Copies of this chain bind each other. A is one copy, B any other.
Amino acid sequence: MMPRTEADNQRLREARRAQILESARKVFARNGLATSMADVAAAADISQGLVYRYFASKEALFRALIEEAVQGNPPFMLERPEKSEKSATAGERLTMLISRLVEARREQPEFFQLFNQVLSAAQPEDDLAKMVRMRGQVFVDTVRQLIVEGQATGEFIAGDPDQLVMAVVACLEGLTSLALIEPEHFKKHCPDAEVILRMLKPPST
C-alpha cells in the first residue's frame, strides 16, 4: 500500500544495476561489442528500455564494465606483490604474482575476456583501448622488473628479458582465450604457475 521508501528504491536500483552489469559482462565477454542491447536486456531478463535507465548508452555500459574490471573491484586483480611479500626473492614474488593471475583467470575469466574484446575490436585511438593497454603495460612492467631482478640474483635464466616477459605474458593472455573457447576443459586443466615459471629457469639437461 505504501509507496516504496527512498531506501527501498535505492537498494532496488543498486541491485538492478549490479544485475545488468553482471549479465552484460557475460554477453560482452563472449560476443564482444557486436552484442546487441537486446541481448543484454534478454540476459538480464528485463526490457530494452530499462537498461537505459541505468546506463546512458551501449558505450556507457561497456565502459562501465571495463572500468570496473580495470579498477579491479575483485581483490585478486591486484598485481603488485603485497607488503608481506616484500621479503621474498624475485622468483618467489613472481611465482605468487603469476599464481594469483592464473587463479583470477580461472575464477573470473570474463574480466580478462573483456580486455581482449576491447583490444581486438577497438580502434587504437579509442579511449578504452588506451586505458586497457595502459593497465596491461603496468602488468608487463611489473613482470619485467621481477624477471630482471631474478636474473641478477641468478634465480632466472639469462638472456633477453623482453623475450621472457613476452613468453610469460603471452601465456597468461592465451589462457584467457582458451577459457573463452572451452570453459570446462580450461578450469580442469588450467596450468599451475610453476609450469609457466619454468620458462624462466634453466632446464636440468
Contact = CB atoms under 8 A, between A and B. Distances in A.
Interface of A: 31-34, 113, 116-117, 119-121, 123, 133, 136, 157, 160, 162-167, 169-175, 177-178, 180-181, 185-186, 188-192, 195-196, 198-205
A177 B33 CA distance: 17
23 contacts: A31-B123, A32-B32, A32-B120, A116-B177, A119-B180, A119-B181, A120-B120, A120-B177, A120-B180, A133-B181, A162-B189, A163-B192, A163-B195, A169-B174, A169-B178, A170-B173, A170-B175, A171-B171, A171-B174, A173-B177, A173-B178, A174-B174, A202-B203
A173 to B, nearest CB: 4
Contacts of A165: 189
B171 A189 contact: no
Nearest to A173: B174
B201 A189 contact: no
Binding site of A, secondary structure by majority: helix, strand, loop or mixed?
A: helix
A34 B177 CA distance: 19
Contacts of A117: 120
B167 A195 contact: yes
Given A136-B181, A204-B202, A164 B31 contact: no
A113 to B, nearest CB: 8
A171 B191 CA distance: 11
Nearest to A157: B198
A82 to B, nearest CB: 25
Given A163-B195, A204-B204, 14 more contacts: A117-B120, A119-B177, A164-B191, A164-B195, A165-B189, A166-B175, A166-B189, A167-B195, A170-B171, A170-B172, A171-B174, A177-B177, A195-B199, A202-B204
Contacts of A191: 163-164, 166-167, 170, 199
